[in-house]
Amino acid sequence: MAGVLIIGTVAAGRLQEISLEVAHLGHELADALNVPLSGGLIGSQCQAATDAFVMAGMSQLFVVDDDRLEHYTAESSIAAVMSIVQQCDPTLILVGHSLDAGEWAPQLAAK
């Protein structure tokens, strides 16, 4: 399914604020391009964050809730996002700027 994919992150069971900011921008972009907006949520203990992320207007949500994501590593984040990308095959992926994403997002883009 082509469209815009927003990657959101969960830390300590909470959706990171930047995730909602990017979701808002992604919604505007998806509307302008007339394509679906999907969300990808990675982290551990994602249940509470899932509801908040869906409320941002996602047509569908892919969640990787894994205890191995509780403590950040680039490799685990890349693997989690890759599993989401393989499921939804987006045209465009948006990720919020954070120290962690600054490490794993360029590595993901190179794949």
Per run of 10 residues, the mean pLDDT along the chain (length 111 residues) is: 91 90 94 95 92 88 94 94 95 92 90 77
Cα–Cα separations (whole angstroms), residue 24 to 5, 27, 28, 41: 12, 5, 7, 15
* Tokens linked to 99: 């120290």
The whole-model pTM stands at 0.91
Q: At what angle do helices 74-88 and 99-109 cross, to 10 degrees?
A: 50
